[in-house]
């Protein structure tokens, strides 16, 4: 089958997966992954050109992380430093520690236990941010706490990716090599932020050109060239894109490019999840089914426990802690990025990541659906109606579509 036909079928499948997700009032990414599993080598082998879809997926990853940096804002970091520090630290200590302990119990090496803990700890910023917006919870106290957690995880992700990428590149823990890679990453970050601020007027002029075609092409070139330079510094594409997004987030005319960024993120981001579905191989799964269930269970319980602890410490309403816990359950792009770094040596990590993403995403939708139905029909309201309010785009499970 020709490459163009495979691409056409893949995008048709992604569109169908998106419609099914909307109909079931769920998240899109797990359905994209399922589409990749079904059409990829694991099942029907209709779409099997992994090299091309890997490239398209890398473009999706770049725009997923670029948009994350674009939404991040250094000013927002300062404004939320209290929530960021406390809520983020609680989330990290609870979820990273539980996952690390589980990794040790699974008899993983120290390095892979570290990788496993990071993969299970980090939530999906893209899914959670969209959920908060559609639930009308962004400006609520609980929504602010969740955003603080997401920002904290973004910061942890930066250092985490540098460390594990360095260890993988040098085939072992070498303090000198890791220090060098961290130094290069910090240097690149400093150069990007410093030059971005110093010459921000030139970038602003580029994106504010009256000729939209030139502005868009020039802007995309700016992103890709920036990522290439980052790779030359030994910085991953994901981290380079995130730093470039930080620069653009402070520009005066940044809103002119938001639609372009979102379109690239949505189109190629879908391919990113589809590609990981393609790489999923049933026959290569050596992890017992009950272990996969335990891992998924730990991923869910950890977020609920950290949400409860935040409610106690931050003195939120009791259901506020439950809301924080449920909303932060879904795993997504970060788990796949981490798994992808070690996939060559340990392909099981990619398989585990796919399973955890599917379970946590679907379970979050199911939990909200059950809570909503209990409150609406049985008057058993686990969450108060401020989180299940028709004024905020209807039912909670519908808000997650």
Mind listing the pLDDT tens digit for each residue in 15-34?
999 999 888 877 788 899 99
Whole-angstrom distance, CA of residue 65 vs CA of residue 240: 9
User: What is the reported pLDDT for 22?
Assistant: 86
User: What is the reported pLDDT for 353?
Assistant: 92
Residue 287: name the closest of 362, 358, 357, 349 by CA.
349
User: What is the reported pLDDT for 274?
Assistant: 95
As a whole-number percent, the residues of the chain with pLDDT over 70 amount to 88
Q: Is the pLDDT of residue 238 over 70?
A: yes
> pLDDT digit string (tens) for 33-91?
999 999 999 899 999 998 999 999 999 989 988 988 887 766 666 666 666 678 889 99
Q: Is the pLDDT of residue 390 over 60?
A: no
Q: Residue 155 has which token pair?
A: 């910061």
Whole-angstrom distance, CA of residue 143 vs CA of residue 307: 12
Residue 274: name the closest of 14, 4, 2, 5 by CA.
14
Domains and CATH numbers, the chain: 3-399 (1.20.1530.20)
Which residues contact residue 271 at a Cβ distance below 8 angstroms, ignoring those fewer than 6 apart?
10, 14, 53, 56, 57, 59, 60
Q: Is the pLDDT of residue 195 over 50?
A: yes
136 — pLDDT class (breaks 50, 70, 90):
low
294 — pLDDT class (breaks 50, 70, 90):
very high
Q: Is the pLDDT of residue 369 over 70?
A: yes
Which residues contact residue 218 at a Cβ distance below 8 angstroms, ignoring those fewer than 6 apart?
206, 207, 209
């Amino acid at each position: 089958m020709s490459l163009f036909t495979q691409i056409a079928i893949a995008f048709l499948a992604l569109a169908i997966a998106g419609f099914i997700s909307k109909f079931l009032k769920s998240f899109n990414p797990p359905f994209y992954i399922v589409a990749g599993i079904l059409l990829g080598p694991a099942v029907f082998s209709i779409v099997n050109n992994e090299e091309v879809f890997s490239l398209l997926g890398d473009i999706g990853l770049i725009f997923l992380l670029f948009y994350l940096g674009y939404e991040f804002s250094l000013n927002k970091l300062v404004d939320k430093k209290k929530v960021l520090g406390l809520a983020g630290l609680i989330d990290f200590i609870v979820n990273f520690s539980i996952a690390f302990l589980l990794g040790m119990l699974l008899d993983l090496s120290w390095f892979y236990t570290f990788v496993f803990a990071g993969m299970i700890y980090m939530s999906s910023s893209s899914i959670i941010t969209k959920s908060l917006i559609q639930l009308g919870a962004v400006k609520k106290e609980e929504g602010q706490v969740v955003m603080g957690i997401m920002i904290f995880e973004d910061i942890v992700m930066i250092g985490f990716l540098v460390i594990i990428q360095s260890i993988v590149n040098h085939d072992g823990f070498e303090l000198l090599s890791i220090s060098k890679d961290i130094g290069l990453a910090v240097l690149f970050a400093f150069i990007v932020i410093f030059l971005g601020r110093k010459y921000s007027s030139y970038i602003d002029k580029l994106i504010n050109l009256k000729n939209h075609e030139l502005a868009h092409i020039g802007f995309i070139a700016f992103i890709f060239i920036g990522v290439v330079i980052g790779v030359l510094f030994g910085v991953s594409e994901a981290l380079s894109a995130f730093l470039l997004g930080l620069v653009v987030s402070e520009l005066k005319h940044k809103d002119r490019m938001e639609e372009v960024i979102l379109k690239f993120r949505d189109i190629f981001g879908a391919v990113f999840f589809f590609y990981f579905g393609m790489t999923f191989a049933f026959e290569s799964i050596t992890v017992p089914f009950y272990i996969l269930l335990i891992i998924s269970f730990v991923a869910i319980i950890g977020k609920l426990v950290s949400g409860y602890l935040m409610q106690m410490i931050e003195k939120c309403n009791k259901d506020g802690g439950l809301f924080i816990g449920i909303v932060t359950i879904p795993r997504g792009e970060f788990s796949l990025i981490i798994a992808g770094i070690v996939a060559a040596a340990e392909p099981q990590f990619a398989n585990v990541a796919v399973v955890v993403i599917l379970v946590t995403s679907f379970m979050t939708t199911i939990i909200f659906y059950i809570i909503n139905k209990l409150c609406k029909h049985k008057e058993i309201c686990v969450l108060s109606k401020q989180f299940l309010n028709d004024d905020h785009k209807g039912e909670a499970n519908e808000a997650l579509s």
